[in-house]
Every structure is written in structure tokens, then in C-alpha cells.
Chains A and B, each alone.
Chain A
Amino acid sequence: MGGPPYAGGVPDVPALSLRGLWRRFGQKIAVAGVDLDVPAGSFYGLVGPNGAGKTTTLLMSTGLLRPDAGLVQVHGVDVWADPLRAKSILGVLPDGVRLFDRLTGAQLITYSALLHGIDRETAAARTKDLLQAVDLVADADTLVIDYSAGMAKKVALACAMVHAPRLLVLDEPFEAVDPISAANIRDILTVYVAGGGTVIISSHVMDLVQRMCDHVAVLGSGRILAAGTLEEVRAGQSLEDRFVELVGGRRGGEGLAWLHSSSG
């Protein structure tokens, strides 16, 4: 990548600010009034059980899904009122979507760069850097449709970063990614944050969030259950224990006695 994406002083405006975010699908309320401030320059983890509304919240924060109510601001720019300006400072990795998979990896990253109005030379240089950073140089000329799930994740991540956004929103960025690539991506993100950028990731791997993030928010049933610095949210426990305490729903190991092979 060409230098730190966002150098200089960090203004007081949060990188992402959500106010009263609501969204329902039919009968089900997916997100029920989320307020959240993600400070600029933070590495923010969004955790929650399956179906807690993480993906819906992130989709609405990035202009991909219109909220029923609420305000989303990226560095003070209203995503839903001024989408073009907001989107040029926003990098997104959605989960569970396709890519333009008849393009090669290099073409896909270039496409993303050109869509963001980056000139040819810069696009070419950044594509090369990014392919190297996510270990896809050898597969740069392979069609994305032939990529494995992890490779597709990595090329999508490269697409999200090619225009040097000020805020990166990554939904489950490490799913299906091998440990070495995951470590490399972690390094890239850490350097990016050190350079003044802001990262939000969603995950349900507590251990990963605890190691990477300096801030964390716990989402349950469409509401924020706790949010703040990692230390504040953890309150002295491990993140996993605290998470279980907040969300609830743990069962003991009893039941399923028939599952023991000896009983069959």
C-alpha cells in the first residue's frame, strides 16, 4: 500500500457514529435502536451471537441496506444523505455476497480501484502491493470463480482497501482464511490503524477480537449490550466469559447422553 492512508491529527469526530438505528425484516426486528460511536484511529470489534444483528448493522453503516430509522455518519458525513462522499472514505468487506468472479484477482482489484476514481498508475501500483500483501501474487491471473473461500475473502479485502479508505468495515474478515494469511492480514490492519485509519470487524471468535481490538461492542438481539474499550467491556474477565455473561444462553454439558459411543 502507498503510505499510511490517513496521516495527520485525528479529529474529535468519530470515524463511525450510529444513532437510533432500526431495521426490521417482516416480523423480525433485526436491529432495535443501536447507538454506537467508533473513535477515529481505533481497532473496533463487534461481537455477538449468531443472529444478533451484526451483519445488518454493518450493512446499514456502509450504505448497503437502508435503515428504517436512525442516523449513520462516517467522519461526520451522513451516509444516507451524502452517499457518494461517504463511500469514497469507506472501505467495505461484506459477508455472504458474491464477487464479480469472472474477473481475475488482479482485474477485480483494479476494477474496485477504478470505480473509486483512482488513476491507472496508482491503481496498478496498489493492485500489485495488495496482491503481495494478501499472498495472491501467484493467483493474480486466475479467475476469482476458481478461488477457494479464503482466497476470495482475501481478494475482497484487497478490493476494500485499494482506495485507501479512512474507515474499513469488515464483516467476518477471517472466516475461512488460513492462519498464515490471517496473521498477515492482521499485520496489515495493525499498520493501517497505526497510520491513523479506523477498522471495524465483526466476529464471533472472542479470542481473536481480544488479541486484535482495542475497542469492542457486544451486540445481542439487535441491541448494544456493552461498548467501550476492551478493558472496560471485559471488566477484569476474559472477553469470552464476559460475553457469555452478557448474552447468556450457556447450557451445561448434561443431556445428549446417547451421544457417548459407549451407550450406543
Chain B
Amino acid sequence: MVALLVRLKLRLLVNGLKRSPWVAIGFAVGALYGTGVLLGVLATLGYVSTQLFELREMVAVFAGTGLVLAWWVVPLVAFGLDATIDPARFATFPIPRGRLLVGLAVAGLIGIPGLLTVVGAFGSTILWRDDPRAVAAGLVGAALAVVTCVIGSRALTAALAPLVVRRNVREVGVALALVPLVVIAPVMARLVPAGFDLREAELGPAVRAVGWSPLGAAWALPADVAMERWGQAGGRLAVALATIVALALWWRRGLGRVLVEPVRETTKKRDRGLGLFGRLPATPLGAVVARCLTYWARDPRYAMAVVLVPVVPVVFALVDPGGSLVLLAAPLAGFLMGWGISADVAYDGTAFWMHVTSPLRGSADRWGRAIAAGALGTVVVVVLSVASALVAHRPEAIPALVGCSLGALGTSLGVASVVSALVVYPVRQPGDSPFSLRQGATMPAFLTQIGGWALVGSLMSPTIVLAALALAGGRDWAGWAAFAAGPVLGAGVLATGARLGGRLLERTQPELLRRLLAMT
């Protein structure tokens, strides 16, 4: 079973690489990057190995714990669950659960992150190179830690899967999961006092505590052996083994549930009457606006963008309390909300056929999407401009901020209207787990994004210069000039973009649909 699943995983990997040269390039870039990081880590560890015992112990325990934590948490929030081998797909095969478990765990290590983790974990024993007994203990600890990484990540995803798939739980959950992640770095930066010195800091208790935790026990093992703290070493070995057993049992239970009750998304949401369709003008354009606005409210992929908007200024305010960094929040939000529609057609997915089969003018499609995002975006940026200026005690900056933010919104809407008529790239499909990221031809998508951003930046440059002049100091005229120039230039770019994008769309929509069909 193990060999079979490993072969399956390898076969899937190879087939994925063969499908598109871009995937292969992405894989190569990822592998190169990962190798670079690994070499850097090993070099650092080699350097640390010449240092004091306390430092070596601390590095081993903290870095190792961080690695385990990353394995557990990152798949949930950032890169998406690796669904290449989804346990639910094995539901119909009569495979003993224990063997499936082991097979899935080993297969989970196939791939760049798994390989890097294994090499890094075993390589970390370089820290103890002056004591063969500690190296041996380190190898055992590394093996235990790798198993903890994989089984823990699988157990968590299996346990959370039924929760995650319920849409309302998910929408809230994603936002809640993201907020601490976004906020944690600046908070840490605040908490660590300036002039922090490692030698003076009293980290002993923290190292000890983490070393006894399920995450760090395996990593603390070699240090104990090196110091001949045999009792403590035995205790830590017990903690590490118990962690693995507990995780395995938990995963086994979760796996059992996934196999027997395949999770299926359900909502019992209803909506009386026609909603916005009954209120906005009964024209094709009005219908597109109504549909888009409904989606901004109801589709978690859009809703998340709105949920995240207030997080940005909070982060800025935390990083630079009382400073002016927070003033960037409104223009940034304007840009992000405007640029959001560059993925609009991709978010429609194959449902886009309805636009293709109807006698809908391309410009109505473009304007409809832009008006929906623009209406929300205008409210957001005006509120953010005023609020951030007040927080920073710079009320005189309000005109410049409003102008610049509205300019950013309009300009990015216009550029995105053209871009999304030309390129679609794989995105999460409606109903997919929010924790999953579609892999695929990411390179063209990446290049288009960069190109689009550069275009937005250059089209906005007059407004940016004026706003910068106003913010840099006391030039009221520049602020009011930005207040006028931003919206005017933004509206101009939007009008041009919607017209050009509309004309392009009428030509490209069958190709867009074909690519969307190919992605499903």
C-alpha cells in the first residue's frame, strides 16, 4: 500500500509537470528556491554548531518547533491542502485504514517541501557534531519530528475538513484565521523591545517549556543526550512518541469519518424575491451590476477581500504607531479592490457561458463588473481616507488621500477590465475549500499581474506625485490638485479600459470560456 501510494503521488507529480511547461518551470523555480533556503539553513546551523551549548539548544528547539508548526498550520491557511491524494477518493476501495494511513503519510513527504524537511531535519544534527551520541539522538529526534510534521498536518486537515466545508463556518473561519496571521508579525515586532540582546535575554525557561511541548520534544532530545541528562531525555522521548501516537489516533478517527461520510457543501440559505435584480435598472448592464454585487456579498472569495480591507490599516497602525504609514491604507485598498476584478471572469468559471451565449455587449459586461466593485470601493476608500488621516493626526491630508485613493480605484478598475478580457488563470472554484489553491499555469498569471500593476502605477503617476507633495509637507494646493486629478484621471482610465476591454471581450470570450473549461 505504501509503495503504491508513493508511486501514485510520483505519477501525479510527473503528469502535472508534463501538462504544461509553466508548471515545470514553476516546479524548477520552487525547487531551486527551496534548495537555496535549505543550504542557507544548513550553513547557519553549521555556524551555530561552533557556538555555546545554550545557543545550540535554543536554535535546535525553536527552529524545529517552528518547522513543525509550519507543517501544521501553513497548509490550512496559505498554500491549500495538498489534495493530490485526497483520502476521500479511496472511500470505495477496501483498504485497511491503518495501511492507508501509513501510505498517505509517506506519500505526503513526496514533493519539494517534504524532501526539504527530511534533509533539513536530519541535517540539523550537524549542531551536535562534536558528540556522536548526541548526533545519534538527533537522528532519532529528526525522524520523530518529521513523522510529527506529516501526521499532525494530516490529522488537522482531516479533523477540520467537515468544519471547513460548511460555508458559513468557513467564511468566518477564514477571516478569523487570517487576521492573527497578518497581525502577528507587527505585534511581535512591538513586543520585542528595542536593543534586544540574545546573550542578556533570559530564554532558558522558554527553551525548557517549548522543549517539553509536543512540538519541540523531539528536537530537545540531542541536547539532553549531549549533557547526559538521561532522565530528561527519556521524558522527552516519551512526549515525542506519545504525540505521534495521539496524532495518529486522531487522524485515524478523522480519516474514518471522511471515508464514511464524504463531506459535501450544504447551505440552507434562501433569499426572498429577486434581491438586487428587482431594484437596479432592468437592463443588461443593471443585471450584471446586480449579479456582481450579489456575489460580492455572497461568494466568500469576494467577501474575503472586503473582510480583509479593515485589517490592512490596523496592521499599518501597529507597525508604525502614531506615524504616517497608516496613510497608505486607503490608496492601497483602492488599488486592491479595483484590481480584484482582474480575476472576475476566472471567478465566474464556466458559469461565464451565460454571458457568452447572451447578446450582451462586451462593454456592458465590463462596466457592470467595474460599477459593482467601484461602488463598494468608493465607500471603502473614502471611509478609510478620513479614518486613517484622523488616526495619524493629519486631517489636512484628507483631500490628497481621497483623490489618490479614488484615482487608484478607477485606474486599477480600468486596467483590470482590459487584463481580465485577455487572461484567465486558475482560481479557486466556487465551493472549493478556501484552503485550497489551484495549481497550474501560474507564470503567465504572474507576468500579467506584474505588467498590470506597472501600468496602473505609471497611469497614476501624476496623482501620486501630487499626493506625495501634499503629504510631504504643507502644500495645500497639491492636496486639492490630487483631489481633482485622481478621480478625473481614474475615471478616464476606467472609461477607456471598459471600452477597450469590452471590445476585446467580444472577440476573446469563446477563448476565455475554452480555457475556463479546460481548467475544470
Contacts and interface: CB of A to CB of B under 8 A. Distances in A.
Interface residues of A, number: 42
A103 to B, nearest CB: 6
B430 A102 contact: yes
| B contact patch SS | helix
B517 A97 contact: yes
Interface string A86-121: 011010101011111111101100111011110110
Contacts of B513: 64-65
A62 B357 contact: yes
Nearest to A104: B271
Interface stretch (A138-146, A179-187, A188-196, A233-241): A138-146
Contact of A119 (B270, B282, B360): B282
A85 interface: yes
A141 B354 contact: no
Interface stretch (B109-117, B176-184, B219-227, B261-269): B261-269
A213 to B, nearest CB: 23
A111 B359 contact: no
Given A102-B294, A107-B294, A145 B431 contact: yes
B274 A101 contact: no
B430 A101 contact: yes
A119 B287 CA distance: 11
- A interface secondary structure, majority: mixed
A166 B381 CA distance: 47
A146 B283 contact: no
A200 interface: no
A149 interface: no
A41 interface: no
Contacts of B357: 62-64, 87, 90, 92, 94
B284 A141 contact: no
A85 B514 CA distance: 22
Nearest to A123: B282
Interface string B345-365: 000111101111111110000
Candidate in B272, B357, B431, B506 with the most chain A CB atoms within 10 angstroms: B357
A83 interface: yes
A66 interface: yes
Contacts of B141: none
A97 B351 contact: yes
A109 to B, nearest CB: 10
B359 A146 contact: no
B514 A101 contact: no
9 contacts: A64-B357, A84-B359, A87-B359, A102-B295, A106-B274, A110-B274, A115-B358, A143-B267, A145-B265
Given A88-B359, A100-B354, 10 more contacts: A64-B357, A64-B510, A65-B514, A96-B520, A98-B351, A99-B354, A102-B299, A106-B274, A111-B290, A143-B298
Interface of B: 265-275, 277-278, 282-284, 286-288, 290-291, 294-295, 298-299, 348-351, 353-361, 429-431, 506, 510-511, 513-514, 517, 520
Top 7 closest A-B pairs, CB basis? Answer: A114-B287, A120-B282, A115-B358, A97-B350, A88-B359, A98-B351, A84-B359
